[in-house]
Structures are given as structure tokens and as C-alpha cells.
Amino acid sequence: MRKWLIIMALVSASMLVSCSKEKATPDAPDTPPVKAPEIHTSEVTDVSEKSAKLSWTLTSNGGAALTDQGIVFGKNAEPTLESGQKVSAGRRPVECSLTLENLEDWTEYHARAYAINAVGTSYGEDLIFETKAKDVRTINLDGVIFKMVFVEGGSFTMGAMEGDIFAKSYEKPAHKVTLDSYYIGQCEVTNEVWNMVMEGRAPSLTEQNERFLPVVQKSWNTCHDFIDSLNRQTGMNFCLPTEAQWEFAARGGLKTKGGHYSGGDAIDDV
């Protein structure tokens, strides 16, 4: 009887030892691979003549610390750190915004967020915005100044209305015309501006009384020569206004209230 009990005890001990040896050791969790960050360009707000606010969200750092993030922008689509201009935010929270400054007025820009970690650089969506136009642009030609006025684009009825007894036959029928925004000279080209562009000189003493009068007796071809010379000197893109552009501006553009003059019937309000 005692023998049997001992055998059973040995068997039990063996079973206990055997069970202890078969106990599983939990595996260590897999470490996710490090990858490039993920970033989302959210929106463009507060657009002015010279600035715009860009917002973005960092959706993932890719499993590695960020070294930089911010906004890259330019005039071409999908700007990069190599092709565009960068405004860095450094190491900021996942939701961020920056203000782009010193932009050109009335200019289309592309902008998108970027983020950098040890793996590489990622970009968000390419957002397009256009800075606002100045109401008046001043052009300075070696001290001779003229101004261009902004005309917001829109639709209007071009031509003379039925019943206008003073209308010419070529002014009819009245029809709808839609124009993009543009700038037009605040006044006609003066003798002073013409002389500076075409001859590179200011008015002489004998011309002082006529310096602000409109230039006259110039041919169509000569006017185009004037435009070509003005474009070369300023690096801008001037042209002669179309008949529709001239009439729209003369009517007061979108601000017109009808009447005989630009914007109304009172000549002093023009």
C-alpha cells in the first residue's frame, strides 16, 4: 500500500513537471514599419491682396519624429520644396495654420502642406487661390506716373437699347456680353506718358501746359508700338481695350445705376 502511494506521488510530480514545461511564452508584439508621414491640406482663408492663410492636418507621423512641416507654394501646380517657396512651422501640433505674406496682388497661386520625417517627405492636396486685386495700381516710369483702375468682371447688355433715337445702326442690336476682370487706364494716355514711353523723356518747358492733355493724332499702328514699348519697359502685359471692355468701364461696370454717365446721371459723381 505504501509503495502504491509513492508511485502515485511520483506520477503526480511527473505530471506537474510536464505541465510546467508545456506552458507557452507570449510572443512580443510586431513593431509596425516606419513610413513617410501623412498630411492633409485643409483650406485657404483670409485671402487679401498680399496674404493668405493656409491650414493643414497631420494625420500620421509615419511612426517617426517629424523634422519639419509647413506650407510650400508657387505659381505652378503641385509645388515642391525644390520648385516652390517654403514657410516652415517646425514641430507643431497635428492641426496647424500659417499665413503666407508678401504675395503679388491679383495672382493665382498653388499651395500645399508638407511634412518630413526620417523616411521622406510627403505633400498634401494642391489648393489653388487668387489674391485680391488692388482697386488702383500705380505705374511709375522714371517719375512719370499713371494709374490703372480695377474693373470687376461680369455681364452687361452691350449696345444701344431700342428706342434710343441717338443710336447709330452699328450699335444695335443690344446683346449680352460677359467679361473677365481687368484693369483700365484711369484716364486717357497723356502727352507726358506718351513722351516718356516713346521717347524716354519728360515734357519740355514748352510742353508743360499740355503734359496732362490726352495724346492725339496717333495712328493705330503707332498706338500698338506704344503698347509694345510700354510692355518692354514695365515687364507687364498691357493692351488696347476691346470695345466691350471700354463700354463696360464707361457704363460703370457692375456698379452702374444706369443714366447718361458712368454710374449715373450726375456728371459730378462720375
| Residues 41-53: tens digit of each pLDDT | 999 999 999 999 9
Query: Residue 204 pLDDT more than 90?
Result: no
Query: Residue 128 pLDDT more than 60?
Result: yes
Q: What local confidence, expressed as pLDDT, does residue 172 receive?
A: 86
* pLDDT band at residue 6 using 50, 70 and 90 as cut-offs: very low
Grid cell for residue 35: 513610413
Q: Is the CA virtual torsion 251, 256, 262, 265 positive or negative?
A: positive
**Sequence spans of domains, the chain:** 38-130, 136-263
Residue 37: phi and psi, rounded to 5, are -65, 165
Q: What local confidence, expressed as pLDDT, does residue 163 receive?
A: 78
One-letter amino acid of 49: E
Is residue 97 classed as helix, strand or coil in its secondary structure? strand
CATH superfamily entry for domain 38-130: Immunoglobulins (2.60.40.10)
Residue 145: phi and psi, rounded to 5, are -115, 135
7-27: average pLDDT: 45
Query: Residue 17 pLDDT more than 90?
Result: no
230-245: average pLDDT: 96
Q: What class is the 136-263 domain?
A: alpha beta
CA 122/CA 58 separation, integer angstroms: 10
Q: What is the DSSP letter of 226?
A: H
* pLDDT band at residue 170 using 50, 70 and 90 as cut-offs: confident
* pLDDT band at residue 15 using 50, 70 and 90 as cut-offs: very low
- E-only strand ranges, the chain: 38-45, 52-60, 68-74, 85-88, 95-100, 108-116, 121-123, 127-130, 136-141, 144-151, 154-158, 175-179, 182-185
Q: What local confidence, expressed as pLDDT, does residue 34 receive?
A: 92
Query: Residue 69 pLDDT more than 70?
Result: yes
Query: Residue 264 pLDDT more than 70?
Result: no
Among the residue ranges 21-25, 184-188, 220-224, the one predicted with the least confidence is 21-25
Query: Residue 234 pLDDT more than 50?
Result: yes
* pLDDT band at residue 116 using 50, 70 and 90 as cut-offs: very high
Query: Residue 59 pLDDT more than 80?
Result: yes
Query: Residue 102 pLDDT more than 50?
Result: yes
> What is the Cα Rg of the chain in Å?
37
**Could you give the residue ranges of the DSSP H alpha helices within the chain?**
2-21, 191-199, 220-234, 243-250
pTM, to two decimals: 0.71
131-142: average pLDDT: 95
Q: Mean pLDDT across the chain, nearest whole number?
A: 87
